[in-house]
Amino acid sequence: MPRSRDSDLHGFVVVDKAAGWSSHDAVARVRKLIGVRRVGHAGTLDPFATGVLVLGVGKATRLLQYIQGSTKVYQATIRLGEETDTLDPEGVIVSRKDVSAWPSADQVTRVIERFIGTIQQVPPAHSAIHIEGKRAYDLARAGQEFDLPTRTVTIDGITIRGYDPPRLDLEIVCHTGTYIRSLARDIGRELQTYGYCTALRRIAIGDFTIENAVDVTRMNGQEIRERWEEFFLPPDRAVQMYPRAEITGKQTVAWYHGQSLPDVPGTPDGDDHSLVRVYSADGAFAGLGTFEEKHGLRPVLVFSTG
């Protein structure tokens, strides 16, 4: 796509990330295809994982922060009876337990129920968490011993999609910060054996789903130009969870100068500091603001593609 259109490209592309690709690889690919340098992503995926990776293009990168905290949905395959050092198929097996009789389906269901809700979880040693200024995975690869602090995570639901031991297929709905690899390890141990994640596919981040996704590994510049309107999502797609407020033509000028606006229709009664998405008189997305009792609608993020 010609660089002359750089200023016109502001929105989101949902990529179906391929196995073996890093999140950075996907960003680099889209940069090359559309000829825009300003591309970022929300919610990193491990190289072995596939599925939804939301990329922000142009000024929409400023809105990625509102996607990163959204609920995520994963489909995971767990191999029971073994555990790798990375808790995924890229590692080496470090623990194995011969199982004469695999847990029953009822036992698996009861164990899984313990992981639904707000739980404590220890991240994988091979993760990007910082330990005294260094990445945990760098310390792990160097053979250094260290402890990772337990963190609180929230899992809204786990559904068993299939159980044919040693294979266990799950669908997990969780909040940001949850490690599915750690979940696989912990479920295995609760079943008095071991477990690691052999396959992981993210099928949704908030309103961005696998149905929106494109496989950029199979696309070229011409095809992406021809199908641009088909898969390019508008900037305000990231903030649909917030109520809408509309401002008048005169207010729009003040808004783009970062000024607070009194008497904006739709001000929620008694809901001080409520975040809303703001639209100008012509229907264009103008950013995000909060309602304050004393000042009216105050800009939090002014969005302009001009």
- Catalytic position from the list 8, 25, 46, 215: 46
Task: Evaluate whether 198 touches 79 at the Cβ level (below 8 Å).
Answer: yes
Cis check for the bond before 243: say yes or no (omega within 30 of 0). no
Q: Smallest Cα–Cα separation from 298: which of 266, 268, 264?
A: 264
Tokens of 261: 């606006």
Q: What angle do CA 262, 264, 268 make, to 5 degrees?
A: 105
210, 221, 11, 256: CA torsion to nearest 10: 180
Phi, then psi, of 140 in degrees rounded to 5: -65, -40
| Annotated catalytic residue 46 | yes
Phi, then psi, of 160 in degrees rounded to 5: -80, 115
Buried b (16+ CB within 10 A) or exposed e, 45-75: bbbbbbbbbbbbbbbbbbbbebbbebebbbb
Phi, then psi, of 299 in degrees rounded to 5: -65, 135
Whose structure tokens read 């809303």?
276
Residues noted as catalytic: 46
